[in-house]
């Protein structure tokens, strides 16, 4: 229950899905958690539930594509909780399902703005606080599609490949500051984003589509948000003090093929 006790953690996209699970598990393990999202009702409800249960959490409305939003919120987190020890760059969108010859510049840029620039801005403004503290852990949510290809959603795949290499680059740059940077690569996890992606891809029977996509994984089913959240807890904790520049693959065997 105390794996991250005394640490302050920021979770972007923390109101729903994987982010929601990360917030819950980090709080249960003793962290003070700053929830960044644009879904205010869900974010406020989650923070209130954690505080009511005896944990520490606060919600901030943040658009990760706007550097001024990010800078303001991170400064407020440091002022409110006393610093920043862990950053979980989870905010992301699947974006347009159009193929390369169809996608518009605007559709492409939206995915890169959330999935890549969002990671850049949050990392950029957390690093000075971690350097001041003498340590830190940055956890970037990439995807199996930051490791392998597939014949669909090219903008999303490009963004997740970028996140993977951003993680390795920053791991090397900031290792002398004792700041660790790692990426997590989920397989298909049953979340609102995946449900929306299946709908956007033309699925009419969502239950059947969920089962069919689950069969792509050798374990035979999609994962749950907690499967990723426990990986985040590990990388946030001192249990992973010798882990940086690594890829934590949590994909039910998908990428082992």
pTM score: 0.94
What is the fold, at CATH topology level, of the domain defined by 8-187+225-248?
Rossmann fold (3.40.50)
CA distance 61 to 193: 19
Radius of gyration of the chain (CA): 17
Residue 24 has pLDDT above 90, yes or no: yes
Sheet strands side by side (includes 86-89) = 56-61, 32-37, 8-12, 86-89, 136-141, 179-186, 247-250
Residue 247: closest CA among 117, 144, 110: 144
Q: List Cβ neighbours of 217 (8 Å cut-off, separation of 6 or more).
A: 187, 188, 223, 251, 252, 253, 254
Catalytic residues: 156
Buried b (16+ CB within 10 A) or exposed e, 96-105: bbeeeeebee
Residue 213's pLDDT band (cuts 50, 70, 90):
confident
Residue 173's pLDDT band (cuts 50, 70, 90):
very high
| pLDDT, tens digit (0-9, with 9 covering 90-100), for 193-205 | 778 778 877 778 8
Q: Is 44 exposed, middle or buried (0-12, 13-18, 19+ CB in 10 A)?
A: middle
Average pLDDT, the chain: 95
| pLDDT, tens digit (0-9, with 9 covering 90-100), for 159-168 | 999 999 999 9
Q: Where are the domains of the chain?
A: 8-187+225-248, 191-222
| pLDDT, tens digit (0-9, with 9 covering 90-100), for 219-257 | 999 999 999 999 999 999 999 999 999 999 999 999 998
CA distance 27 to 86: 12
Q: What stretches of 23-132 adopt beta strand conformation (E)?
A: 32-37, 56-61, 86-89
* Per-residue confidence (pLDDT) for residue 195, from 0 to 100: 80
- List phi, psi (to 5°) of 12: -85, 150
DSSP H or E segment with residue 181? strand 179-186
């Amino acid at each position: 229950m105390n794996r991250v006790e005394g640490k302050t953690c920021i979770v972007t996209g923390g109101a729903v899905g994987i982010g929601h699970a990360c917030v819950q598990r980090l709080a249960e393990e003793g962290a003070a958690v700053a929830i960044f999202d644009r879904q205010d009702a869900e974010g406020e409800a989650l923070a209130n539930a954690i505080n009511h249960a005896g944990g520490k959490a606060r919600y901030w409305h943040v658009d990760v594509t706007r550097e001024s939003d990010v800078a303001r919120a991170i400064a407020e987190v440091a002022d409110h909780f006393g610093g920043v020890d862990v950053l979980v760059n989870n905010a992301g969108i699947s974006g347009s399902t159009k193929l390369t010859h169809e996608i518009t510049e605007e559709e492409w840029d939206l995915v890169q703005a959330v999935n890549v620039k969002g990671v850049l801005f949050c990392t950029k403004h957390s690093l000075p606080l971690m350097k001041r503290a003498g340590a830190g852990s940055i956890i970037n949510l990439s995807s199996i599609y930051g490791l392998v290809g597939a014949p669909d959603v090219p903008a999303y795949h490009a963004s997740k490949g970028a996140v993977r290499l951003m993680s390795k680059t920053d791991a090397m740059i900031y290792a002398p500051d004792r700041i660790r940077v790692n990426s997590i690569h989920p397989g298909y996890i049953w979340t609102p984003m995946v449900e929306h992606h299946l709908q956007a891809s033309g699925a009419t029977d969502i239950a059947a589509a969920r089962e069919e996509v689950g069969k792509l994984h050798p374990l035979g089913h999609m994962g749950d948000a907690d499967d990723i959240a426990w990986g985040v807890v590990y990388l946030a904790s001192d249990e992973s003090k010798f882990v940086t520049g690594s890829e934590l693959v949590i994909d039910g065997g998908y990428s082992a093929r």
